[in-house]
Structure 1
């Protein structure tokens, strides 16, 4: 993957083999895994994910990619952005950040949206979150996403039925927000 984005406090780049221990560590935290598809996360899972991503060129349609969030001052991996290229015009994103750095999630998403809308010229970006994940819901709304759906008991997740919110933003929405 050849991607390198910067903001005032972050560098966003391809996940590298040297990131995988830290990547697995914060993803294994119960508070991080709570609303994610995993319950526990191991270094071996991180290696498998990295290997599967390295088989595809970044932005290949139909694939998910994880981008490393690096704190610029410390060069520490603090989280990751998930990017799924649904089709030629639509992208789904997700964000996972170590608890002590969650205040940087908004900056990370802004930087990614600039790239997706202004550089890659995508039309629509979506994000899906567990309806109980109030922190993510607030984050997406603060960034400027609009809630488009509330699916009730639509996913059997970690042994129980769960509900999800779908958020979306169009390139025209982003253009208005950036003015």
Structure 2
């Protein structure tokens, strides 16, 4: 199955294209974006490597991660991305990153809503999970707005960027979702 293109009122969710990579690397390299992410110094070469390792013609393969571009409907400008990991046949992991100049404008909520509808309605997935740093209020606020339930608070479970940190685990079942 090919990577879907999904549309919202304001955004297109689609496979990354080479034209996106410079912008992608630029916003991921910003300290405020990298703060709660696994990377510290994201480079253009990192963006190219990720793009080249993603097979958008074989979408939804168990065990694989995919980055979906969040682009403005009118200009196709990249404003963020969604990470999608197909854990097994029934469960998917979700992540999101929004460029700083578009944060606080509902981008992640609107984009993730469209992806959740696709995952539950079109692909028939049972459960979507997400993990976030317990200090990342913006991230867990989006998850809670989408209807995710906080299932766990892991205390000092990860040694991250030189210190022990807490994480929250969230989940949303198809049966609980308003996105169908």
Pair in the same fold by TM > 0.5? yes
Correspondence for 2:24 = 23
Tell whether 2:125 aligns with 1:122: yes
1:106 to 104, 109, 113: 109
Is the contact made by 2:117 and 2:179 (CA closer than 8 Å) also made in structure 1? no
Deviations 1:57-110 (A, max 9, x none): 211110111000001122100000000000000000000000121221100110
Question: RMSD of the alignment, in Å?
Answer: 1.4
Distance 2:179 2:49 in 1: 37
Deviation, structure 1 residue 24: 0.3
Q: Secondary structure at the match of 2:125?
A: coil
Matching of residues 3-152 of structure 1 within 5 Å: 3-54=4-55, 57-102=58-103, 103=105, 104-152=107-155
Distance 1:82 1:7 in 2: 17
Deviation, structure 1 residue 143: 1.0
**Unaligned 5+ runs, structure 2:** none
Is the contact made by 2:71 and 2:78 (CA closer than 8 Å) also made in structure 1? yes
Deviation, structure 1 residue 178: 4.8
Distance 1:38 1:22 in 2: 16
Deviations 1:25-77 (A, max 9, x none): 11111111000000111000001111111387211110111000001122100
Distance change (3 Å), C-alpha of 1:6 and 1:56: closer
Distance 2:135 2:145 in 1: 17
Distance change (3 Å), C-alpha of 1:75 and 1:57: same
Distance 1:152 1:23 in 2: 32
Distance 1:96 1:14 in 2: 15
- Between the two proteins, the alignment pairs up a number of residues equal to 177
Correspondence for 2:174 = 171
Bigger helix fraction: 1
TM-score (norm 1): 0.95
